[in-house]
């Protein structure tokens, strides 16, 4: 986790949907390649039958300053032992899948962004977090945990209630939407309608889409595995739970004594 070369594969995966077809061909190569070869722009343009300019555009869309920076970090990550193949049905493979998600979470973690979201929660009049299906369970988990340390927060999992609550948002409210696919209509509408009414909006997703930037103040990227959104091996809410844990830890650092006291008080009430 503390390696100077964090895996950059999650960044390619998150940017994949906004790439052109040629750029996706480049992405496919780097996502599946496991060998050190001649990665110079000249050699790669010949290997993939594309222009060097395409390589540069691809790297920038993935969040790098250019192809040179991208390939420097990519070569470094190849020297690490990472498992990105489809995991088999065995307990060992499940543990491997969890480790992959943890590694990807570390790679995608933006400390500055986490600080901004923490500040949003601190200043919010009221916070609403929503999600459908598995993401809805994660939303309820977040609401439960943060309520116990003094946050005025509620979870929304019913699509109709999302629409109703959206029109009641105000400028001092924060709305958080969970959607691994980034395509949950109700979650996106909830965020968009909340934004229109002045609320601060955060989307937590595994798939970056530039269209979301119109109505989201922050887009927090979480990792995914192939087929993870179908939950074929492990719970697809795990990346969301990692995000919740990181946000919880960040939030607790602000005025920890008061929040610890609140948490302990809830334990006493529950144990009565």
148 and 249 fall within a common domain? yes
Asked whether 216 and 195 are in contact (CB, 8 A), the reply is yes
How far apart are the C-alpha atoms of 250 and 247, rounded to whole Å?
Answer: 5
Asked if residue 95 belongs to a domain, the reply is: no
Asked if residue 99 belongs to a domain, the reply is: no
76 and 129 fall within a common domain? no
Looking at residue 34, what is its pLDDT?
Answer: 82
Domain hosting residue 19, numbered range: 8-90
Give the CATH number of the domain where residue 231 resides.
3.40.50.10490
21 and 74 fall within a common domain? yes
Where do the DSSP E strands lie in the chain? 126-130, 153-156, 173-178, 200-205, 218-221
How far apart are the C-alpha atoms of 109 and 105, rounded to whole Å?
Answer: 6
86 and 116 fall within a common domain? no
The closest of 111, 118, 138, 170 to 238, measured between CA atoms, is 138
Please state the pTM of the whole predicted model. Answer: 0.70
Looking at residue 91, what is its pLDDT?
Answer: 59
115 and 74 fall within a common domain? no
Looking at residue 98, what is its pLDDT?
Answer: 82
Asked if residue 236 belongs to a domain, the reply is: yes
Of 43, 58, 90, the domain-final residue: 90
67 and 142 fall within a common domain? no
Asked if residue 22 belongs to a domain, the reply is: yes
Asked whether 179 and 203 are in contact (CB, 8 A), the reply is yes
* Residue-by-residue pLDDT tens, the chain, 272 positions: 444 446 788 889 899 999 999 999 999 999 988 888 999 999 999 999 999 999 999 999 999 999 999 999 998 877 654 444 443 345 566 777 788 888 888 889 899 999 999 999 999 999 999 999 999 999 999 999 999 988 999 999 999 999 999 999 999 999 999 999 899 999 999 999 999 999 999 999 998 888 999 999 999 999 876 544 444 667 878 899 999 999 999 998 887 777 777 777 777 777 66
35 and 127 fall within a common domain? no
Asked if residue 102 belongs to a domain, the reply is: no
208 and 165 fall within a common domain? yes
How far apart are the C-alpha atoms of 237 and 174, rounded to whole Å?
Answer: 21
Residue 159, C-beta contacts closer than 8 angstroms, at least 6 positions apart: 132, 186
139 and 255 fall within a common domain? yes
Asked if residue 222 belongs to a domain, the reply is: yes
How many other CB atoms sit within 10 Å of the CB of residue 98?
A: 15
As for how many domains the chain has, the answer is 2
126 and 260 fall within a common domain? yes
Of 45, 62, 90, the domain-final residue: 90
- SS3 letters across 213-256: HHCCCEEEECCCCCCHHHCCCCCCCHHHHHHHHHHHHHHHCCCH
86 and 115 fall within a common domain? no
Q: How far is CA 228 from the centre of its chain?
A: 14
How far apart are the C-alpha atoms of 149 and 139, rounded to whole Å?
Answer: 16
226 and 141 fall within a common domain? yes
């Amino acid at each position: 986790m503390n390696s100077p070369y964090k895996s950059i594969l999650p960044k390619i995966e998150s940017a994949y949907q906004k790439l052109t077809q040629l750029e996706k061909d480049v992405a496919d190569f780097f996502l599946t390649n496991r060998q050190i070869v001649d990665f110079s722009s000249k050699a790669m343009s010949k290997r993939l039958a594309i222009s060097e300019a395409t390589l540069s555009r691809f790297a920038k869309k993935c969040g790098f300053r250019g192809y040179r920076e991208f390939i420097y970090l990519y070569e470094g990550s190849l020297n690490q032992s990472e498992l990105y193949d489809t995991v088999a049905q065995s307990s060992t493979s499940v543990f491997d899948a969890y480790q992959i998600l943890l590694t990807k979470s570390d790679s995608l973690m933006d400390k500055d962004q986490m600080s901004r979201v923490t500040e949003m929660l601190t200043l919010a009049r009221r916070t609403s977090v929503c999600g459908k299906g598995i993401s809805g369970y994660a939303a309820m988990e977040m609401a439960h945990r943060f309520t116990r340390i003094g946050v005025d927060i509620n979870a929304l999992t019913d699509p109709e209630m999302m629409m109703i609550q959206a029109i009641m948002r105000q400028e001092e409210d924060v709305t958080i939407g969970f959607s691994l696919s980034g395509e949950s209509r109700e979650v996106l509408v909830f965020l968009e309608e909340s934004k229109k009414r002045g609320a601060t909006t955060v989307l937590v997703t595994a798939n970056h889409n530039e269209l979301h930037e119109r109505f989201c103040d922050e887009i927090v990227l979480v990792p995914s595995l192939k087929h993870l959104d179908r939950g074929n091996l492990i719970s697809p809410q795990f990346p969301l739970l990692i995000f919740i844990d990181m946000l919880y830890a960040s939030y607790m650092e602000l005025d920890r004594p008061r929040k610890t006291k609140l948490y302990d008080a809830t334990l006493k009430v529950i144990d009565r």
